[in-house]
Amino acid sequence: MIVVIKNDAPQEKVDELKQMLEGYGVTLNLSVGTHSTVIGLLGDTSAIDADLIAAQDIVEAVKRVQEPYKKANRKFHPENTVINIKPGVDIGGKSLAVIAGPCSVESEEQIIEVAKRVKAAGANFLRGGAFKPRTSPYSFQGLKAEGLELLKIARRETGLPIVTEIMSVEHLPLFEDVDIIQVGARNMQNFEMLKELGKIDKPILLKRGLANTIEELLMSAEYIMSGGNENVILCERGIRTFETYTRNTLDISAVPVLKRLSHLPVIVDPSHAGGLPWLVEPLTKAAIAVGADGVMIEVHNNPKKALSDGAQSLTPDQFDNVMKMVKKYAAIGDRTI
Amino acid sequence: MIVVIKNDAPQEKVDELKQMLEGYGVTLNLSVGTHSTVIGLLGDTSAIDADLIAAQDIVEAVKRVQEPYKKANRKFHPENTVINIKPGVDIGGKSLAVIAGPCSVESEEQIIEVAKRVKAAGANFLRGGAFKPRTSPYSFQGLKAEGLELLKIARRETGLPIVTEIMSVEHLPLFEDVDIIQVGARNMQNFEMLKELGKIDKPILLKRGLANTIEELLMSAEYIMSGGNENVILCERGIRTFETYTRNTLDISAVPVLKRLSHLPVIVDPSHAGGLPWLVEPLTKAAIAVGADGVMIEVHNNPKKALSDGAQSLTPDQFDNVMKMVKKYAAIGDRTI
Amino acid sequence: MIVVIKNDAPQEKVDELKQMLEGYGVTLNLSVGTHSTVIGLLGDTSAIDADLIAAQDIVEAVKRVQEPYKKANRKFHPENTVINIKPGVDIGGKSLAVIAGPCSVESEEQIIEVAKRVKAAGANFLRGGAFKPRTSPYSFQGLKAEGLELLKIARRETGLPIVTEIMSVEHLPLFEDVDIIQVGARNMQNFEMLKELGKIDKPILLKRGLANTIEELLMSAEYIMSGGNENVILCERGIRTFETYTRNTLDISAVPVLKRLSHLPVIVDPSHAGGLPWLVEPLTKAAIAVGADGVMIEVHNNPKKALSDGAQSLTPDQFDNVMKMVKKYAAIGDRTI
Amino acid sequence: MIVVIKNDAPQEKVDELKQMLEGYGVTLNLSVGTHSTVIGLLGDTSAIDADLIAAQDIVEAVKRVQEPYKKANRKFHPENTVINIKPGVDIGGKSLAVIAGPCSVESEEQIIEVAKRVKAAGANFLRGGAFKPRTSPYSFQGLKAEGLELLKIARRETGLPIVTEIMSVEHLPLFEDVDIIQVGARNMQNFEMLKELGKIDKPILLKRGLANTIEELLMSAEYIMSGGNENVILCERGIRTFETYTRNTLDISAVPVLKRLSHLPVIVDPSHAGGLPWLVEPLTKAAIAVGADGVMIEVHNNPKKALSDGAQSLTPDQFDNVMKMVKKYAAIGDRTI
């Protein structure tokens, strides 16, 4: 961290500031020029509140040099994290995760039919929403606990590990037998929930918030990891911009950026990012080409009657076609599905 | 709601669609042209999933005409809502709420000193954070339950009603004796929490999320109101844009827009919107001039040592000056503080 | 400017970099720590390409401390710039400019009628578009040279100085007798045009681009000023964000920020920012309260038949009402209209 | 286009509106319900000003159904446009364009060296800036006319067609012997220039503006095409969002969206989008996978001494590696380079 002092700062104020900064346990490095004085802070600055330093009268500017995250930082963990989900099934490394299934679990028949179809096409995980975050209180809110039970039945039938979203820390006991717990975009900064998820050891799929920066996503991962749970999978699912043709704007660059800054696996959700079924295939191809560790795709046996997000779901037949392309692109990068 | 049918849709598909639409309990109005067919849906369309209709093959486009919120809608409640907080103290109508206090409650001395100073300057509410949402897990997280107790002591000393933020539905019992419960920007779409807040009758100050539209803010209010709690105060606190000089971009237009679309009171938080102490005064003046029902301002007895957000807090002396201007601007609009 | 060197940089590479930096005519200030080396650049860094320095292998980060603009910078010109338009009529300082008129000049009758009405209401400048930037090639493109002539006739009739937009540097000779030349948002970074406008001495009203930062607006002003024309008026007219209820999002904070960073006058265009006639009054009040040096308002004698932007224009009667409020708010700040 | 009438509109006002709408030469289709009346406009609505209709008192809302562009619209031109640049060299169709070269032309040696290297690696076009749009007036502004001459020398040496940017309509005569004229992001809505470019028949590479929607990009193409020049190549180069880690946010979804809405070829500029050299390879792979007709990549023989944008340029060796991947990805889609 670098602190730039105003030109006209009286020496005693500078001395006070230096004392304050030394209180953080860092070493100071002073560079006095004719027009400005610069103080370099050396050591671990991740717990220092840059805004507070900027609030001091004599400070012109504060610039961070180090990233504020540690556990999620590739600098301190150069190897890729590979998360083992069940024997022979990993996320990260050479594995390419294909997580597919309906937006909402609607019935036993539906979830089993979809699970069988996506497995046959080559998916290695089943997704399905039991608790559904909906913008309107008048929309279908999910089958809740019953939905979780139906997912487990589908898992038993197909062997696919299941991924499903948690919406409140109170529901955590219900998720004990789930394979991967998803934190949705709207809860990416629900810090109380992140803290609780840091106390368990189940893999957490953490979706980037609509208006959250890459650094904030890593700080939310840091919340979970600093609690002790290092099994975090990051997910890019589109950010909110001025463009309205697509539901959100898939920030494809975030994938290589996240993989450079962090050792955690990164997957992409092309269904939510675009919000249009015909965008799923090209965005999936782009996600694999750019280096993602997996994709998460909505598939519904009858999108026209889906109780949520039908407009963006693929039919099982369309998913079959997408998987053919997935396999071609995976082959270039020697990825295994 | 209007549904535009593709040119080449076969009649039987159109008939199927009509049946589906009639299933929502609305009346249909068909307009057949040479190039396209338009179906108007008349009646209550707030529970209809527009995306699902758009997912049908023969549908070219779906356009909403009605707003998807009802309880929060001024059309169905033309009078301004005025929320009584305690005898003689309202939010909304002719009253101008000035909610002031520190970002975080830090000690009994601090909160009492700030409370006395802001009261003397003319504030009519005390704010203070006990549970603090922080981007970094390594930052100060608030005094929690103890902070709530200190706020109550400050209320006893000054008579000012207290406003404080809830971060998890599990903490709700602790907030029983708080005057106004604040939902922060990051929890605006924590729907499980909104549902719980809909079951009580305490006033809720609902902050707009960083990347949430005006309509989504109203839909979150609708979550609380549809549960039975109509005491919702909306708060504009800046949205995230490409401009980085200010922390966020205060969407000042949102105030008159919200007041046109809804009957609920609307306040502005100039401290979080700008993130810079010297912006608080001009933004406060703008907020009152544009028609807000109040402002929420961070004041700290020693911003340079604040445990959170010191960089944007005013000193009590600076707040005195802001209040002088507040009174002048309030006078133009016949607002009482 | 501060250059942070990577931990493992070999000494010879650091020496090379130092030589390169000294080549810019600045003094270097080295601060060597155990984990990183920081080089401070002292002197005029406005011509240094920070990106080029960042491209060097051993550079971890480059941070600007100084602003990259000089002529527009309040640090080097602490007094407010007041631009004299004609005897007794200024922009900046204690004067409050009210620039009103139709989006497009449509006919002699129209522009004279509007000019008389806005003058009677208290406006001190007449606006009107002769060359119109339209998103669609099929929309009305303005009366061009004829429109400029009609504006001059309206000026003769009312005495109001005229403000009108230039769209191409080739048209510059036609603008010789115009009082203030407007550069529209879409041309804010039409650098070839800015350079030409720097060679004349006519006041330039420079509108902020839809996606341009405050710093970029000041850099565009710098283009004009570095050519020799220091008569630049800045205009905030809304930026593009994810919110679609309003046409753009008025960045009200930009006004006090621009006034702090620069000595140039700053005005606000509430008509284009909101795009809705009922937003003009509240946004005008906010603009004056926040400290703008003026406002620019669209007024049309028959908005429903306007050839462009009718949807956001006020009628002369509505403008009369807005001016009543303008006068009240101007009085608080001792502004003269 | 659909016009929704307010509930309480008097019949005479509705009749007036119908007359006004019929004046546009469209057929009306009335749908009268109990709560609202909807008028459908059938025929060519591209020249109708939707805002003007929305300005009428009795109008609740106006919704476009048709796209406002015609020449650029795939509906009226279902086949892909393939632009022939020289015998055997096309943009569009099965061809994959690889346009490479330095940000700025700096010297004869530089441009020839880079041209030879990129040709050897497999590029089929040479790019190089002669007129440079720079945010700061104090930055290098390009070699101008001399730069164009150097590009032609490099073309003679290598046979590669040249692509270079125009910044002002006044310079058009200088571009007569250029193969493809580029319109930069900042000039995407410089309508006067677009009109002039519509009068020639040279291919135009039109870059999307930083804050321009997909529809606006197509409307700018329409400006050129409606003038008679249908040789337009669209280019996605990143949009401005709140994320600051990358210079801009590459809107990868824009590629399949543009290809669905329009028949024009679409290329991607990964160098400007990311602003970081290590992002060029993954973004190039994503661009080809998503279906772009080409990529535009900055290559400099000595990025550390580049006079502009060195920070994002690849070295020729790095470009060699990117081209190896380009060929693998092109093979999947049967694209020829």
Nearest to A271 by CA among A286, A284, A262: A284
Pairing state between β A97-101 and A294-298: parallel
CB contact under 8 A, B52 and A311: yes
pLDDT above 90 for B45: no
**B329 interaction partners in chain C (CB closer than 8 Å):** 289, 332
pLDDT above 90 for B28: no
Contact of A33 with A4, CB cutoff 8 Å: no
Q: Which residue of C has its CA nearest to A245?
A: C242
What pLDDT, on a 0 to 100 scale, did the predictor assign at position C47? 76
With residue C42 as reference, give the H or E element that holds it: strand C37-42
Distance CA C140, CA C170 (A): 20
- Backbone angles phi and psi of A47, in degrees to 5: -95, 5
pLDDT tens digits, C268-313? 999 999 999 999 999 999 999 999 999 999 999 988 888 877 778 9
Point out which residues pair with B234 in neighbouring strands: B206, B266
Distance CA B191, CA A166 (A): 12
The distance of Cα C19 from the centroid of its chain, to the nearest Å, equals: 39
**A241 interaction partners in chain C (CB closer than 8 Å):** 242
Alpha helices in D145-276 (DSSP H): 145-158, 191-197, 214-226, 254-261, 270-274
Place domain B74-332 in its CATH homologous superfamily: Aldolase class I (3.20.20.70)
Query: Which 3-state string (H, E, C) describes B314-337?
Result: ECHHHHHHHHHHHHHHHHHCCCEC
Closest by Cβ to C61, choosing from A36, A42, A65? A65
Q: How far is A120 from chain B (nearest CA, A)?
A: 25
Contact of C31 with A31, CB cutoff 8 Å: yes
CB contact under 8 A, A29 and C31: yes
Amino acid at A25: G
Per-residue pLDDT, averaged over C160-170, amounts to 96
Which residue of A26, A27, A31, A45 is the best one to mutate when testing the C interface, meaning the one whose CB has the most C CBs within 10 A? A31
pLDDT tens digits, C88-115? 999 999 999 999 999 999 999 999 999 9
User: How many C-beta atoms lie closer than 10 Å to residue A336's C-beta?
Assistant: 11
What pLDDT, on a 0 to 100 scale, did the predictor assign at position A33? 64
What pLDDT, on a 0 to 100 scale, did the predictor assign at position D84? 97
CB contact under 8 A, B36 and D30: no
What pLDDT, on a 0 to 100 scale, did the predictor assign at position B297? 98
**A36 interaction partners in chain C (CB closer than 8 Å):** 40, 42, 65
Task: Tell me the domain boundaries of chain D.
Answer: 2-63, 74-332
**B214 interaction partners in chain C (CB closer than 8 Å):** 243, 245
| List of residues 6+ apart from B5 with CB closer than 8 A | B14, B17, B36, B37, B38, B39, B58, B59, B60
What pLDDT, on a 0 to 100 scale, did the predictor assign at position C23? 86
**C42 interaction partners in chain A (CB closer than 8 Å):** 33-36
What pLDDT, on a 0 to 100 scale, did the predictor assign at position B33? 64
**A219 interaction partners in chain B (CB closer than 8 Å):** 135-137
Residue B43 C-beta-side C-alpha neighbours within 13 Å? 12
Domain A2-63 - what CATH class?
alpha beta
Handedness of CA B267, B271, B275, B279 (dihedral sign): positive
pLDDT tens digits, A188-200? 999 999 999 999 9
Q: Which of B36-40, B143-147, B265-269 has the lowest mean pLDDT?
A: B36-40
**D62 interaction partners in chain C (CB closer than 8 Å):** none
With residue C19 as reference, give the H or E element that holds it: helix C11-22
pLDDT above 80 for C219: yes
- pLDDT 10s digit of each residue in chain D, 337 long? 888 888 788 889 999 899 888 888 888 877 776 566 778 887 788 778 887 888 788 888 888 777 889 999 998 899 999 999 999 999 999 999 999 999 999 999 999 999 999 999 999 999 999 999 998 898 889 999 999 999 999 999 999 999 999 999 999 999 999 999 999 999 999 999 999 999 999 999 999 999 999 999 999 999 999 999 999 999 999 999 999 999 999 999 999 999 999 999 999 999 999 999 999 999 999 999 999 999 999 999 988 888 877 778 999 999 999 999 999 999 998 999 9
Distance CA D337, CA D96 (A): 5
Average per-residue pLDDT for chain C: 93
Distance CA C3, CA C64 (A): 9
Distance CA C276, CA C246 (A): 7
Contact of D319 with D299, CB cutoff 8 Å: yes
Question: What 3-state class would DSSP assign to D104?
Answer: strand
Q: Where do the DSSP E strands lie in chain A?
A: 2-5, 27-32, 37-42, 59-63, 83-86, 89-91, 97-101, 125-127, 162-166, 180-183, 204-207, 232-236, 266-268, 294-298
pLDDT tens digits, B264-321? 999 999 999 999 999 999 999 999 999 999 999 999 998 888 887 777 899 999 999 9
Same fold for the pair C2-63 and C74-332: no
Q: What are chain B's partners, defined as 3 or more CB pairs within 8 angstroms?
A: A, C, D
Closest by Cβ to A2, choosing from C42, C43, C63? C63
CB contact under 8 A, C63 and A60: no
Contacts across the C-D interface (CB distance below 8 Å): 135
Running DSSP on this structure, what letter comes out for residue C239?
B
Q: How far is C180 from chain B (nearest CA, A)?
A: 28
pLDDT above 70 for A302: yes
Q: Which residue of A has its CA nearest to C30?
A: A31
Contact of D30 with D39, CB cutoff 8 Å: yes
Q: Does A215 touch chain D (CB under 8 A)?
A: yes
Handedness of CA A247, A253, A257, A260 (dihedral sign): positive
Q: Does D304 touch chain C (CB under 8 A)?
A: yes
User: In the numeric block, which tokens belong to residue C322?
Assistant: 């807005």
Q: Within the 56-85 window of chain B, which residues sit less than 8 Å (CB to CB) from chain A? A: 56-57, 68
Q: Does C29 touch chain A (CB under 8 A)?
A: yes
**D170 interaction partners in chain C (CB closer than 8 Å):** 169-170, 192
Amino acid at A208: R
Q: Does D332 touch chain C (CB under 8 A)?
A: no
Q: Which residue of B has its CA nearest to C326?
A: B289
Which residue of B252, B280, B288 is the best one to mutate when testing the C interface, meaning the one whose CB has the most C CBs within 10 A? B252
Distance CA D232, CA D205 (A): 6
**Which letter, b or e, does each residue of D9-39 get, where b requires 16 or more Cβ atoms within 10 Å of its Cβ?**
beeebbeebeeebeebebebbebebeebbbb
Distance CA A277, CA C247 (A): 29
Average per-residue pLDDT for chain B: 93
Per-residue pLDDT, averaged over A297-320, amounts to 89
Q: Where do the DSSP E strands lie in B221-279?
A: 232-236, 266-268
Distance CA A266, CA A254 (A): 9
CB contact under 8 A, A36 and C42: yes
What pLDDT, on a 0 to 100 scale, did the predictor assign at position C320? 98
The distance of Cα D272 from the centroid of its chain, to the nearest Å, equals: 13
Confidence of residue C34 (pLDDT cuts 50, 70, 90): low
Closest by Cβ to B36, choosing from D32, D65, D244? D65
**A283 interaction partners in chain D (CB closer than 8 Å):** 252-253, 256, 290
**A213 interaction partners in chain D (CB closer than 8 Å):** 242-245
What pLDDT, on a 0 to 100 scale, did the predictor assign at position C199? 97
Q: How far is C31 from chain A (nearest CA, A)?
A: 6
C-alpha distance from residue D26 to each of C206, D47, D76 (Å): 40, 11, 19
Q: Does B311 touch chain A (CB under 8 A)?
A: yes
Q: How far is D158 from chain B (nearest CA, A)?
A: 42
User: In the numeric block, which tokens belong to residue D6?
Assistant: 């307010």
Confidence of residue C1 (pLDDT cuts 50, 70, 90): confident
Nearest to A152 by CA among A135, A128, A124: A128
Distance CA C240, CA B271 (A): 23
With vertex at residue C266, the alpha carbon angle to CA B318 and CA C306, rounded to the nearest 5 degrees, is: 130
Confidence of residue A52 (pLDDT cuts 50, 70, 90): confident
Report chain D's C-alpha Rg in angstroms.
23
Report chain A's C-alpha Rg in angstroms.
23
Q: Does A54 touch chain C (CB under 8 A)?
A: no
Q: Which residue of B has its CA nearest to C291?
A: B282
pLDDT above 70 for A36: no
Confidence of residue A72 (pLDDT cuts 50, 70, 90): very high
CB contact under 8 A, B226 and A46: no
Q: Within the 112-171 window of chain A, which residues sit less than 8 Å (CB to CB) from chain B? A: 131, 133-140, 167-171
Maximum CA pair distance of chain D?
Answer: 76
**A60 interaction partners in chain C (CB closer than 8 Å):** 65
Contact of B311 with A51, CB cutoff 8 Å: yes
With residue B163 as reference, give the H or E element that holds it: strand B162-166
Q: Which residue of C has its CA nearest to D247?
A: C51
